[in-house]
Amino acid sequence: CRLRWINYLRPDIKRGNITPDEDDLIIRLHSLLGNRWSLIAKRLPGR
Q: How many CB atoms lie within 10 A of CB 30?
A: 13
Q: Which of 4, 6, 45 is nearest to 26 (CA)?
A: 45
Backbone angle region of 2, left / alpha / beta, with phi > 0 → left and psi within -120 to 50 → alpha: alpha
pLDDT per residue as tens digits for the range 3-46: 777 767 777 778 788 999 999 999 999 999 999 999 999 999 88
pLDDT value at residue 36: 97
pLDDT at 47 over 80: no
pLDDT value at residue 45: 84
